[in-house]
Structure 1
Amino acid sequence: MADEYFLLVCDDVPHDVVLSDPGVRVMDVVQVVRRLTGLSLWRSKVLATRVPAVLLAGVPEEDAAAAVSALRDAGARAETRERPEPDLPER
């Protein structure tokens, strides 16, 4: 049986939210990470201090931009990255 692959084409390319530096107000950033991810306070702190860390993966561009804005308001350095297209085998 042959494997078939389908590439879905959509208008919105998924984005990742990457935290590169929590800054000096770490606990403020941890609270934002907790709100964005739904993780416990302890897990949010671990995630925020092990940088670079992907906080959100495969979210729409608007959600990613809002998350980065909230992180920057808390004093962190964060960015959005477009998810790379999957490598599909040639037919």
Structure 2
Amino acid sequence: MADAYFLLVCDDVPHDVVLTDPGVRVMAVVQVVRRLTGLSLWRSKLLATQVPAVVLTCVSERDAAAAVAALREAGAAAEAKEQPQPDFPKL
């Protein structure tokens, strides 16, 4: 029996929010990371200081843009990356 894979066409491609530099106001960035992820203060600090770090994964484009704006407002460098589409074999 052959396995068949289907790619669902959605209006919104999932995005990842990547923190590339925490900047000079690290604690402000940690608070934003904590608010976005729901992690503890300690884990949020680890995530914010070990860059590049994926803060959010598989979120909508609108949510990713809002998260990037919040991180940049806190003084960090962040970007939203579109997740690559899977390369399914053609049948």
TM-score bracket for the superposition, by shorter chain length: over 0.9
Q: Normalized against structure 2, the TM-score is what?
A: 0.96
CA RMSD of aligned residues (A): 0.7
Identity of aligned residues (%): 78
Shift of 1:89: 2.0
The one-letter code matched in structure 1 to 2:63 is D
Q: How many residues align?
A: 91
The one-letter code matched in structure 2 to 1:47 is L
How is 1:16-31 mapped onto 2 (pairs within 5 angstroms)?
16-31=16-31
Following TM superposition, the consecutive aligned residue runs of length 4 or more in structure 1 with deviations greater than 2 angstroms are none
Once residues 74 and 85 of structure 1 are traced to their aligned partners in structure 2, the CA distance between those partners, rounded to angstroms, is: 31
- 1:8 corresponding residue in structure 2: 8
Q: Normalized against structure 1, the TM-score is what?
A: 0.96
Return 5+ residue gaps in structure 1 as ranges: none
- 1:53 corresponding residue in structure 2: 53
SS at match of 2:75: coil
SS at match of 2:78: strand
- 1:63 corresponding residue in structure 2: 63
Once residues 40 and 89 of structure 2 are traced to their aligned partners in structure 1, the CA distance between those partners, rounded to angstroms, is: 40
